[in-house]
Structure 1
Amino acid sequence: MYELSLYTFALSPRYDDLVVISQAGINIGNRLLPARKPEELCLPGMRLQQYTGDSLHMLHLPSGARMTATTHPDGHSRQRPVDQDWWWDASVPLTMRERQTLAALPAMTPDAETLLAALAVRFCLRDPNGRWDVGMWFNDPLSHLRTSKRSGGHSRRLDGEGDHWTLQWTSLPYPEDLLQALTDTQAGLNGATAMHRGDVCEIRFGSAVLTLRPSAPRCSHLPIPEGRDERGRAAAARPSDPPRP
């Protein structure tokens, strides 16, 4: 997500297709797709399925998941396919380097995959009533309401294996906004709960645990989301979570 966060966009997750609505679709493609350039800047296994000038339709070979970068909110192209020979297409198999990179990734359980996917697709999420806003991890639209300011660079790190993952970051977003986005009674991940253990905040989904470790303020200062009891249990049912990309 770091590569995407360099640009302004909105996310619209569909079934096996993460639609990225942005005026910088070509730049996003250059960040994710292998081409005549070093592979370090690319997502291993990502390939171009179709380019239409206003949309890039991409396929992740290892998982079969799709991503569309487009200027249109409905995710559909308005132009005809364009021939191109810059980005690798789906006919190019995984390279040895890509296989080695993918093999080195830590294993992830289904519950952890769902929880982390929920984190990714809520990158731009905000409360329409103005109570919280993730702000795409660099912007704070609610700064006028804050009693403190977060700063200190833009370092982000996700570590873990299996069911247990830890997210560390500096600066934005505010941890309470991120927690609300994942556990909100309407827009949160269905079944996710928040737990506080001293200075540590955990978000649980099934057997998976995501530990939040922001630089400051400490998680112990985070409020329990509205509609939940002191143990983080949901007080009322909410609609099912949208399919993960």
Structure 2
Amino acid sequence: MPSSRRRSLRDVRRAYTGEDKKAAEAGVGRGGLGVTHCSPVQRRFRATLAVHLFNENNGKPPFSDAELHSARAFLSYTMTVSPRYDELLCIVPGALENALSRLSSSSSDPRHRVPGLRVAASAPYQAYHLVDLVTGGRMTLARQSAYPSIADIRSGKPGKSSSWAREWPGLDVAISPVERAVRARIPAMTEEIEALLAALVACLDARDPAGEWALGLWWTDPLRRSITAGHDGGISLWGSGGRWELAWTEHPDPDDIVGCLTDPHIGVPGAAAVRLSAHVREIRLGSSVLTLRYGVSRADG
């Protein structure tokens, strides 16, 4: 790709994602912005991650602690999401290790956040490279866009270690029967649903350069509009096959999600939206449907 074309894509991408130049340029490619376009492995991983991010362990089936392990608290950290074709990078400038603890279990907190997620390599206080043992998907948490690669870490170039590096299970820790059972409880989904859910994860903090929509990590509005959010009634994402429903009560507004998923630059190709009521939208892709239900969460009963 000519350098001028790549720079142009980089700048458009930055307007949507808020990335710095280095992160945005690393993400463009394959003829487009590269925000929601990813490998099949990465698509499956991100869709699974969406189930853990958009559910809460509230003691009610199917979201009880015994059946689902929520990583919802991960979204409470300020971060820049920098999706690549075969990796999901989250740049967390502060409290990096705390953010990691919301995704992975540790020796001090043995509860499984995202079962099967392992630390493949770590440069404490700089970067943590994660691998999902079930899908093979990769995710990296880093303090800044310039961070040590796995090769650098394994060669000892970061030159620094601490007890943080030993807190989380590595690739040598096989997936446990409990973890496997939790993952098995997540219903199967079509490739279209995977694509929509994966896009929500890739666009966690995306915003429209024209100021029409913004997702704001699902807790704030970076466009500073006068939007009245609902009460904190929880969030739930569940379904089966080609029919899934996302229900929540706070940020973002459902039309923000519609705007993101159908955006001509970073949306999911072929996705179309239907307004069913003031609080309900449908995102249709092929024969699959993701229902967006705002203001009344299934977690409320």
TM-score tier, shorter chain, comes to: 0.7 to 0.9
Q: Give the 3-state SS of the residue equivalent to 2:283 in structure 1.
A: strand
Determine the C-alpha separation between the residues in 2 that align with 1:173 and 1:190: 22
Instruction: In structure 1, list runs of 5 or more residues that go unmatched.
Output: 217-245
Q: How much does 1:37 deviate? A: 3.7
Determine the C-alpha separation between the residues in 2 that align with 1:178 and 1:131: 11
Amino acid at match of 1:167: L
Please name the residue that 1:12 is paired with.
82
Deviations 1:51-92 (A, max 9, x none): 112000011000000110002225655834747322110011
Deviations 1:150-178 (A, max 9, x none): 23115111010111110100121111111
Contact 1:68 1:75 in 2 (8 A): no
Length-normalised TM-score, structure 1: 0.80
Determine the C-alpha separation between the residues in 1 that align with 2:103 and 2:159: 22
The farther-off stretch of 78-87 and 169-178 is 78-87
From 283, 289, 299, give the equivalent of 1:203. Answer: 283
Percent of pairs with identical residues: 36
Contact 2:76 2:219 in 1 (8 A): no
Please name the residue that 2:129 is paired with.
57
Please name the residue that 2:31 is paired with.
none
Amino acid at match of 1:93: A
Amino acid at match of 1:182: L
From 103, 125, 134, give the equivalent of 1:32. Answer: 103
Please name the residue that 1:102 is paired with.
183
Length-normalised TM-score, structure 2: 0.66
Determine the C-alpha separation between the residues in 2 that align with 1:142 and 1:14: 25
Q: How many residues align?
A: 214
Please name the residue that 2:294 is paired with.
214
Change in Cα spacing, 1:81 to 1:61, as seen in structure 2 (3 Å) is farther
Pairwise mapping of residues 64-79 of structure 1 onto structure 2 (< 5 A)? 64-73=136-145, 76-77=148-149, 79=158
Contact 2:254 2:281 in 1 (8 A): no
Determine the C-alpha separation between the residues in 2 that align with 1:74 and 1:190: 31
Please name the residue that 1:44 is paired with.
115
Q: Give the 3-state SS of the residue equivalent to 1:48 in structure 2.
A: strand
Determine the C-alpha separation between the residues in 1 that align with 2:290 and 2:208: 22
Structure showing the higher strand proportion among its residues: 1
Please name the residue that 1:226 is paired with.
none
Change in Cα spacing, 1:108 to 1:75, as seen in structure 2 (3 Å) is farther
Does residue 167 (structure 1) correspond to residue 246 (structure 2)? The answer is yes
Q: Give the 3-state SS of the residue equivalent to 1:12 in structure 2.
A: strand
Pairwise mapping of residues 139-178 of structure 1 onto structure 2 (< 5 A)? 139-144=220-225, 146=226, 149-153=228-232, 155-178=234-257
Determine the C-alpha separation between the residues in 2 that align with 1:41 and 1:93: 13
Contact 2:123 2:148 in 1 (8 A): no
Q: Give the 3-state SS of the residue equivalent to 1:151 in structure 2.
A: coil
Amino acid at match of 2:294: P
Change in Cα spacing, 1:213 to 1:75, as seen in structure 2 (3 Å) is farther
Determine the C-alpha separation between the residues in 2 that align with 1:128 and 1:75: 27
Change in Cα spacing, 1:158 to 1:82, as seen in structure 2 (3 Å) is same
The farther-off stretch of 27-36 and 76-85 is 76-85
Determine the C-alpha separation between the residues in 2 that align with 1:82 and 1:207: 50
Determine the C-alpha separation between the residues in 1 that align with 2:204 and 2:277: 27
Instruction: In structure 2, list runs of 5 or more residues that go unmatched.
Output: 1-52, 54-71, 150-156, 297-301
Structure showing the higher helix proportion among its residues: 2
Contact 1:194 1:203 in 2 (8 A): yes
